[in-house]
Amino acid sequence: MATLEIRDLHVSVEADGGAREILRGVDLTVRSGETHAIMGPNGSGKSTLAYSIAGHPKYTITSGTVTLDGADVLAMTVDERARAGLFLAMQYPVEVPGVSVSNFLRTSVTAIRGEAPKLRTWVKEMKTAMEGLAMDPSFSERNVNEGFSGGEKKRHEILQMELLQPKFAILDETDSGLDVDALKVVSEGVNRVASSGTVGTLLITHYTRILRYIKPDFVHVFVDGRVVAQGGPELADELEANGYDVYVKAAAGS
């Protein structure tokens, strides 16, 4: 049983006119086995939250804490965070020219598990995981994210989640750009990992569509750099019906 705890997190980025605060006091606790949906309008700071937890150098933490079972995540390098069990499925995965998917996955799995997987079992493991996500075996020979369609990039992110078995997975708009079939396949992948009960999931999304396939235990409404409302799955239904307007107006008035 692990706990990821975010306390009063303030984050800013360097913009033209100096530092600009984007996260303005985020509080959130995620435990193993739980699925939290974070929903909010464009530009509310959802990706900023995800990147800040993962340690992207562009974001400056001005105050607050992030801990994983008490350990100070913010003091760790990006790769240490990943090895501690954090995983970020990115909204816009990065192309790495000349590096094959198979080489990349193997290097990553080796780093996370602390030893290189045995070649024979590894090839099988990768093949099975790819089949589960309806990815053609030829993907393993392609360069990381290079020329991948939007949907292929997202499958590739979830493939990594399945192979790396993180303690906490942050999925940043994994549903965007997916057609219904792909959305099902990807959601099944996430559910397979979640079914172990050992992963806590932070599902960042703009739309309620993915919540038909991945059932959240908690829903948080994210507006203007902070959580402004939270509840159970019924909150998502309400957002579906009424949109973010009322929350955005309330935040603007505060």
List of residues contacting other proteins (CB under 8 A): 54-57, 77-79, 81-83, 87-88, 90, 93-100, 102-104, 106-108, 111-112, 119, 122-123, 140-141, 143, 160, 164
Q: Any contact of residue 45 with ligand ATP (CB under 6 A)?
A: yes
Q: How far is the CB of 110 from other proteins (least distance, A)?
A: 9
Q: Any contact of residue 209 with ligand ATP (CB under 6 A)?
A: no
What letter does residue 254 receive in the DSSP assignment?
-
What is the rounded CA–CA span in Å between residue 66 and residue 79?
Answer: 16
**Residue 133: C-alpha distances to residues 119, 160, 173 (Å):** 21, 11, 17
Q: Which of 106, 156, 105, 108 is nearest to 134 (CA)?
A: 156
What is the rounded CA–CA span in Å between residue 207 and residue 9?
Answer: 24
Q: Any contact of residue 35 with ligand ATP (CB under 6 A)?
A: no
**Residue 122 interacting partner from Mg ion, other proteins, ligand ATP, none (CB closer than 5 to 8 Å by kind):** other proteins
Q: Which is nearer to ligand ATP, 48 or 160 (CB)?
A: 48
| Interaction mask 128-167, ligand ATP, x per CB under 6 A | ----------------------------------------
Q: Any contact of residue 15 with ligand ATP (CB under 6 A)?
A: yes
Q: Any contact of residue 56 with ligand ATP (CB under 6 A)?
A: no
Stretch that binds Mg ion, among 27-35, 46-54, 195-203, 209-217 (CB under 5 A): 46-54
Q: How far is the CB of 149 from other proteins (least distance, A)?
A: 18
Q: Which is nearer to other proteins, 120 or 245 (CB)?
A: 120
The alpha carbon of 103 is separated from its chain's Cα centroid by a whole number of angstroms, namely 23
Amino acid at 88: L
* Residues in contact with 86: Cβ distance below 8 Å, sequence separation at least 6, in sequence order: 4, 53, 54, 68, 73, 166, 167, 168, 170
Strand partners, 96: 144
What is the rounded CA–CA span in Å between residue 84 and residue 164?
Answer: 11
Q: Any contact of residue 43 with ligand ATP (CB under 6 A)?
A: yes
Q: Which is nearer to Mg ion, 47 or 187 (CB)?
A: 47
